[in-house]
Amino acid sequence: MEKATFAGGCFWCMVTPFDELPGILGIVSGYTGGSKENPTYEEVKTGETGHLEAVQITFDPSLFPYERLLELFWQQIDPTDAFGQFHDRGTQYATAIFCHNDRQMELAVQSKQALEASGRFDKPIVTKILPSAAFYEAETYHQDYHKKNPKHYNEDREKSGRDRFIQDNWT
């Protein structure tokens, strides 16, 4: 089993693309990349802790390779926006790949370089690729939010513009 950690804006929207796929054993919403130990949602949302909202995925690489996780990750975000994602603005909603080992780092860098070379976007790819950092699980009500509060989740996701962006840029 391995872990993969991705920051792609609102963590609620980063769970569903990976949820219930073969080889995905668990997805936890949380905070990473900041300086404060055990931050709360209220602290992180101020943008002052340095944390990003992120998901940490436990996966079986023999069933779902890391390269496929990277491919799915890129297709959920606007990799040219350094100041948040869609209607979620602020550094806590920036995009990043947090690598847990040298192989993940190498594959993440290669995937970013391939995206840059593809010419898919006119602006620079600003998603950071970083070594993994302490990951703090978000509060219980954030876990599996799309299942606990489907109406609100779907309304928020629609309002965010994420799905329109994905449709226009990735399909």
Task: Judge whether 10 counts as a catalytic residue.
Answer: yes
Average pLDDT over residues 106-115: 98
* Domain membership of residue 63 as a residue range: 2-170
Per residue in 35-66, pLDDT (tens digit) is 999 999 999 999 999 999 999 999 999 999 99
Average pLDDT over all residues of the chain? 96
Task: Please state the pTM of the whole predicted model.
Answer: 0.96
Mean pLDDT of 8-28: 95
Contact 7, 35 (CB under 8 A): no
- CATH number of the CATH domain containing 38: 3.30.1060.10
What would the pLDDT profile of 96-107 be if each residue is shown by its tens digit? 999 999 999 999
How many distinct structural domains can be found in the chain?
Answer: 1
Q: Which of 4, 7, 10, 138 is catalytic?
A: 10
Q: What percent of the chain has pLDDT over 70?
A: 100
